[in-house]
Amino acid sequence: MAAPRRSAKAQADDPDEPEPLDQGAKEEAAPKHEGASPTAMERAYMDALRRERAGYEQRGLTDRVAQVDAELKRFKQ
């Protein structure tokens, strides 16, 4: 048997629901990896970016290469 449905208004007024984080709070809540080695997920993401960049470079898409480079630079900081 499915759980009973609640209206959107009831969900918005629910005092047990946590407040959604704004963008600044999300960045503060994210752990900083200064000086720490990257996790397996981070390494996989960087590897995927490098493969994506190589494909763009082969096809001569310099604007996309620059975008991937910017993401790699942002991610490494």
Check residue 38 and give its pLDDT.
84
pLDDT in tens, 27-74: 544 555 556 788 999 999 999 999 999 999 999 999 999 999 999 998
Report the C-alpha gap between 8 and 15 in whole angstroms. 14
Q: Is the entire prediction scored with pTM above 0.75?
A: no
DSSP codes of every residue in 31-63: PP-TTSPPPHHHHHHHHHHHHHHHHHHHHT-HH
The full set of domain ranges for the chain reads 37-77
